[in-house]
Amino acid sequence: MPLQSYHSSHGGFDFLGLRRGAAGQLEIIYDDGVSRRMTWRVRTPGADRTLREVLRYAVDQTKVLPALYSELKRRAIAIEAVA
């Protein structure tokens, strides 16, 4: 799967992306465009299609990270931080 990327439609710098990591696992990337870049590994198998919806929704919210965490929890998608 190629990289899927989503940018805020409100003119902000927030970015959410979905990619395959080196081991073939799905990863979510967040970048605020200034100082923060975070990566999480998706632990729930088969969440590909649902993740696209989650990222598209979260990136258009005023507070992207709380919206992302809330949607992942609501849909029972487990993630772990990548160091």
Domain boundaries, the chain: 4-81
Q: How far is CA 35 from CA 13, 29, 32, 72, in A?
A: 11, 14, 7, 24
Task: Check: CB of residue 27 under 8 Å from CB of residue 82.
Answer: yes
Query: Above 70 in pLDDT, residue 79?
Result: yes
The DSSP letter of residue 34 is S
What does the pLDDT average to over 44-52? 88
* pTM, two decimal places: 0.87
Helix axes 64-74, 48-59, angle to 10 degrees: 150
